[in-house]
Chain A
Amino acid sequence: MPGPGDRGGVKAKPKDAKGALRRVLVYLMRYRAAVLALLLCALLSNLGNLLGPRFAGKAIGEAEAGYLQGPGQVNMEAVLRYGLLMLLAYVGSNLLSFLVSIGMARVGKRVARNLRGDVFNKLMTLPVGYFDSHQAGDIISRVSYDIDVVSTSLSTDVIQILTSTITVAGSFAMMCVISPPLVLCMIFTIPVSILFTRHMGKKTRPRYARRSKAYGEMNGFAEEMFTGQKTILAYAQEEEMSRRFSAINRAAAEAYRDADSMGMTMGPTIGMISNFGLAAIGLGGAVLYLYRLVGLAQISSFVLYSRKFSGPINEISNIINEIFSALAAAERVFQLLDQPQEAKDLYGAQTLTDCRGHVEAEHVSFGYTPDKTVLHDLNLEARPGQTVAIVGPTGAGKTTIINLLMRFYDPGDGIIRVEERDHRLYTRQSLRRSYAMVLQDTWVFRGTIFDNIAYGKENAGMEEVVAAAKAARIHNYIMRLPQGYNTVISEDGGNISKGQKQLLTIARAMLYETNMLILDEATSNVDTNTERQVQKAIRSLMKGKTCFVIAHRLSTIRNADQILVVDGGDVVEQGTHESLMLQKGFYYRLYASQFQ
């Protein structure tokens, strides 16, 4: 687990903008055919935009020719013909640019979708510990804000950069043809612009990275506080928490201001450089004219092209800014995608099938951090159908045992065997699937009650679900709801109590056909009446299964075949209820304390 103060996530890696760019391009290249087609459309559209004025010019030319010959001499047919051609060119160009903008929006948003999908898929492969050290809000910030920035940039910038580059190259060629000496006058703007852009890039990129990170931290904090809103209200700490938020909010706002004020100098500065170019052409042109090296007409048409040349350069400089901010955002996304995932299954790991439920632990020790073991030298053997109860004071390491059995973590030392084989030799999926599990933290998602119960079993039918709900004694409650099993519940919105959630998760586990069962304090939130019924149901569910039960109600574990008494990470006593009572040791005291 990462150290304290690690709110935002991974320690800042060396920034790798080129890597981020390359990887964004890989995503883009999935749509290369579309991008190429759209690029073609964009070029055609630009062509139409160039042709329009030409036809307009020709139409005016006709008018002028007629005008010179006197009234009534204008060839109105020719005017009409050129007029229509001009309209055609313009309309065609407009339609094409429409195509380009919706096409690129589509590509940009699809890329965003793929990125979001990949992030989510990645999340599903990360070890559970990752989520203990990364705020959900920060992860959400990467998925909503950061990816949105990338997508917006892709939608608008890619085509523009490509078409601008072509325009710039074309105009530059034309300028060279018209007057190489004039080109020499303004050529300084090109290296200056490039150097300046690179210089600015170095200055702005880290700022954009800070901006993204600050947003992530702010969103992480907001998500945490909103989740704990009732607690804040209960302690009347709205103002204090708002004050704390204010500091984080200010940091985010200032990170934005610092990045964008810096970034926003780019456009005007590049504009100034190209205006210097224009002034240089004016000066140089005048001098050249005085020495009769160029004519006025040449200067005029050179200037026309130089505007076509500098226009897109200004655009590009603005775009580059957006690209820097998009790359900073993309880096945060890729950072998440590069998280080491849960260790792969061992080479040749087998699928665990027909598990009868034989589990052994041998000299197992474990610590969440290397320097602190929380479980020392655990030994146990559970034969098929046996019930192993794990008892002990809170924090003794009971949940850790479950984490190890489920392979949420792997032991530091020792070995856990399932069906007489090291359980690391099975695929994680098949191993986990062999356990049914009811966890301390009940979890439901927004969906119908049916979906929530059927969660553990693909294609479960209504009868099965109803049977499971009946067995978990929540059927009657469900039937009292207006839409019965189709009632939508939600962890956040609906008012479903923790006890009801608990029953739902029990029903969920009922559906699971396995030979091993883990109950982690599963019944502690259910009231006594229900619990007695649930106990019956669970007892029938437990029949023939190997069970690991963590519960504080000693009555529920009295019938266990084996009781593991854990204290401070050590198994201090082990045996049946009767034998442990006879020992008059730790277990005996624990038991007796019930009536204190």
Chain B
Amino acid sequence: MKLIFRRLGQYRGAVVLAVGLKLLGSLFELLLPYIFEYIIDEVVPARQLPRVVLWGLTMFAAAILCRSFNVMANRRAVDNAHKISFGLRQELFEKTVNLTGAQFDAVGLPSLISRMTSDSYNVQTAVQQLQSLCIRAPIMLLGGILMAMLMDLRLALVLLALLPFLVAVILVISSRGIPLYTRVQQRLDDVVRIMRESITGIRVVKALSKEDYEKRRFSRANDDMTETDIRAATVMAMPGPFLQMILNLGLTFVVYLGAGRVNRGLMKPGVILAFLTYFNMITMGVMGLNRIFVSLSKASASADRIGSVLELETAAPLSPEQAPAGESAGSGEDFISFRHVNFSYGADSTEQAGFAGAQREKALEDLSFSLARGESLGIIGPTGCGKTTVIHLLMGFYEPTGGSIRLEGRPLGSYEKDALRRRFGTAFQNDMIFQDSLRGNIDFGRGLEDAALRAAAEDAMAADFIDALPEGLEHRAAIKGANLSGGQKQRIMVARALAADPEILVLDDSSSALDYRTDAAMRRAIREHHPDATLILIAQRVSSVMQMDKILVLDNGRCIGLGSHEELMERCPAYREICEIQMGDM
């Protein structure tokens, strides 16, 4: 809720303008019936046609003014809502793309998506509504109470006695509303998740003829969401009638007590009649307030979900002084160094205790290695042994839970994240091909020279197939690169990694879909044209890593061998075994 008001506060002037215009509009709206009554009660009986015409025209004028003010007020309100929701979505997007790996995992992709799509929309709707609702309701309520008190203080006391009950009902229910709507949005996360899963896995679903199973799975989530939604709607529908009942009970008291006072000659019966009118105003005011609170509680649930993402700290770099200096950089040759690094995933996520990542034993244990500038490192080891984790830590997606990582002798944490990452060129294992031209996919927003793109495509062995396409680099990749083969995708990703001629080149299993010949040619081209780049290459094939300066053999998060191919052949039985299997098999 705070978030909504803070946002409204940012546009204080414009919001006040919208509300002020609405106030004027409402005043003219209230004025019209009075003019009409004046005509009927005063002017018409006097039989003065010109005055009738004059006042009639005044009414037309008032009607036009009323419309103009209301239209202007509505436009202002929409305009403010559009600015606020634009800003909110922009911030949410920027924050989301900046989240650290651990933070991203903790919220979860489907939930981030539904926060972006559904929650931001709920806030926008509320912001727009609030600006028009928040003016009439209080006017009606306060005006009604004031008039009633002026009329007869004693009877008005009945009203005032009701107020605490009214306030209590509104507060109690709307406090229940936020958790209810939060749950609705969580169920929506599930719906979004299953939907995404089925869409991304559509080929598997079809191959296994599991369409019906998926339908059932979706239908369960859909039903859950619907029931939660209905429960929320039911609870939130309660205060309205409840408030009216309280007010009507009060009204009955007023009539009865009023009649008693009339009976005792303390007041005229006309006062009761007037009270009916004011009660009507008060009821409308209270109902308006109630609508504000209902709409606010729904929007608050959404705003809180957005707020919780916006509040996440995307860590600022430590200043070099702040960073633990510890033993100084070691030998000046070390470009990259890992010292006794420990890491487990999900260390700072509490939400997903049941997940595979969350309670797993250490992903990396006491890992130490160092690389000089321009050296190449191959990482090899069984599935799930922590190869990719090394990259995640080196690029600062996750913080190590123990030990230190240094680049050029400086702790990694002291680098500004973007500046750090700009030194890398990376192709991940599950990397994305975006729905964009191939050029866009390789360039990836960096605005690189055409020559650089071409050279990268050539080194990545992608030039041949790109040239064979009628549109060449302008060929558009379908969603997630569905119109490219696995090997084509990998080559585009490698080209992306190479294009900016990075200091550190990271290729995480980026040639698994390539045949040996292409793979070998690609490695040769990279070595030839990027001789200064420090290369980190993760692979399953010994042939891919055997020419690296150093090879790191990982098993279960631990280093079980580090050295050149020849050294490892001698010293590391596990490496020798892998070699024998792969080579011997040929």
**Chains A and B form a bound pair:** yes
B199 on the interface (CB 8 Å rule)? yes
B273 CB to closest chain A CB, in angstroms? 6
A373 CB to closest chain B CB, in angstroms? 13
When the two chains form their complex, are residues A87 and B248 in contact, meaning their CB atoms are under 8 A apart? yes
Complex contacts, B479 vs chain A, CB 8 Å: 131-136, 224
Of A119-127, A158-166, A418-426, which stretch is located at the interface? Answer: A119-127
Known contacts A148-B118, A429-B209, A225 near B97 by CB under 8 Å: yes
When the two chains form their complex, are residues A443 and B101 in contact, meaning their CB atoms are under 8 A apart? no
Complex contacts, B487 vs chain A, CB 8 Å: 393-395
B98 on the interface (CB 8 Å rule)? yes
Complex contacts, B258 vs chain A, CB 8 Å: 60, 63
B2 on the interface (CB 8 Å rule)? no
Q: How far is the CA of A340 from the CA of B265 in the complex (A)?
A: 80
Q: Report which of B35, B56, B82, B191 forms a contact with A257, defined as CB distance below 8 A.
A: B82
Complex contacts, A225 vs chain B, CB 8 Å: 93, 97
Main secondary structure of the interface of B (DSSP, over half): helix
Contact residues of B between 389 and 420, Cβ < 8 Å to A? 395, 397, 417-419
Contact residues of B between 206 and 237, Cβ < 8 Å to A? 206-211, 213-215, 218-219, 222-223, 225-226, 229-230, 233-234, 237
Interface flags for A440-451 (1: CB within 8 Å of B; 0: not) read 110101100100
Q: Report which of A98, A148, A230, A596 forms a contact with B397, defined as CB distance below 8 A.
A: A230
Q: Report which of B45, B62, B192, B363 forms a contact with A296, defined as CB distance below 8 A.
A: B45
B24 on the interface (CB 8 Å rule)? no
When the two chains form their complex, are residues B219 and A117 in contact, meaning their CB atoms are under 8 A apart? yes
Q: How far is the CA of A257 from the CA of B75 in the complex (A)?
A: 8
When the two chains form their complex, are residues A265 and B74 in contact, meaning their CB atoms are under 8 A apart? yes
Complex contacts, A38 vs chain B, CB 8 Å: none
Known contacts A235-B421, A500-B383, A443 near B40 by CB under 8 Å: no
Q: How far is the CA of A193 from the CA of B44 in the complex (A)?
A: 28
Q: How far is the CA of A32 from the CA of B44 in the complex (A)?
A: 51
Q: Which residue of A lies closest to B431 (CB)?
A: A231
Contact residues of A between 264 and 281, Cβ < 8 Å to B? 264-265, 267-269, 271-272, 275-276, 278-281
Contact residues of A between 221 and 262, Cβ < 8 Å to B? 222-242, 244-246, 249-250, 252-254, 256-257, 260-261
Known contacts A155-B233, A257-B79, A299-B40, A245 near B90 by CB under 8 Å: yes
7 contacts between A and B (CB under 8 A): A74-B259, A74-B262, A229-B97, A275-B62, A480-B361, A525-B383, A532-B581
B580 CB to closest chain A CB, in angstroms? 10
A-B contact count (CB 8 A): 578
Complex contacts, B200 vs chain A, CB 8 Å: 136, 443, 491
A390 CB to closest chain B CB, in angstroms? 12
Interface range, B side: 35 or more
B308 CB to closest chain A CB, in angstroms? 16
B117 on the interface (CB 8 Å rule)? yes
Of A14-22, A137-145, A167-175, A356-364, which stretch is located at the interface? Answer: A137-145
B543 on the interface (CB 8 Å rule)? yes
Most buried by B among A106, A113, A120, A134: A120
When the two chains form their complex, are residues B193 and A257 in contact, meaning their CB atoms are under 8 A apart? no
Of B65-73, B135-143, B174-182, which stretch is located at the interface? Answer: B65-73
Q: How far is the CA of A526 from the CA of B68 in the complex (A)?
A: 70
Q: How far is the CA of A482 from the CA of B344 in the complex (A)?
A: 14
When the two chains form their complex, are residues A269 and B486 in contact, meaning their CB atoms are under 8 A apart? no
Q: How far is the CA of A432 from the CA of B209 in the complex (A)?
A: 7
Complex contacts, A497 vs chain B, CB 8 Å: 383-384, 388, 429
B551 CB to closest chain A CB, in angstroms? 14
When the two chains form their complex, are residues B70 and A226 in contact, meaning their CB atoms are under 8 A apart? no
Q: Which residue of A lies closest to B430 (CB)?
A: A498
When the two chains form their complex, are residues A123 and B40 in contact, meaning their CB atoms are under 8 A apart? no
When the two chains form their complex, are residues B97 and A242 in contact, meaning their CB atoms are under 8 A apart? yes
Q: How far is the CA of A532 from the CA of B580 in the complex (A)?
A: 11
Known contacts A76-B260, A105-B234, A240-B445, A394 near B491 by CB under 8 Å: yes
When the two chains form their complex, are residues A432 and B513 in contact, meaning their CB atoms are under 8 A apart? no
When the two chains form their complex, are residues B241 and A66 in contact, meaning their CB atoms are under 8 A apart? no
Q: How far is the CA of A460 from the CA of B446 in the complex (A)?
A: 50
B232 CB to closest chain A CB, in angstroms? 9
Q: Report which of B78, B486, B577 forms a contact with A529, defined as CB distance below 8 A.
A: B577
Q: Which residue of B lies closest to A98 (CB)?
A: B241
When the two chains form their complex, are residues B215 and A525 in contact, meaning their CB atoms are under 8 A apart? no
Instruction: Please name the 10 residue pairs, one residue from A and one from B, whose CB atoms are nearest each other, closest first.
Output: A394-B487, A499-B383, A593-B517, A495-B357, A228-B432, A240-B445, A275-B63, A132-B482, A264-B74, A279-B59
Contact residues of A between 170 and 197, Cβ < 8 Å to B? none
Most buried by B among A7, A90, A235, A433: A235
A507 on the interface (CB 8 Å rule)? no
A555 on the interface (CB 8 Å rule)? yes
B27 on the interface (CB 8 Å rule)? no
When the two chains form their complex, are residues B208 and A512 in contact, meaning their CB atoms are under 8 A apart? yes
Contacts beyond the supplied A63-B259, A525-B383: 20 A-B pairs with Cβ under 8 Å = A63-B263, A121-B215, A123-B199, A132-B478, A144-B114, A226-B96, A235-B446, A240-B445, A246-B90, A249-B93, A267-B74, A280-B56, A285-B39, A289-B44, A394-B490, A394-B513, A443-B203, A487-B354, A528-B578, A555-B586
Of A78-86, A331-339, A539-547, which stretch is located at the interface? Answer: A78-86
When the two chains form their complex, are residues A253 and B86 in contact, meaning their CB atoms are under 8 A apart? yes
Complex contacts, A144 vs chain B, CB 8 Å: 114, 117-118, 188, 191-192
Q: Report which of A90, A116, A265 forms a contact with B244, defined as CB distance below 8 A.
A: A90
Q: How far is the CA of A242 from the CA of B418 in the complex (A)?
A: 14
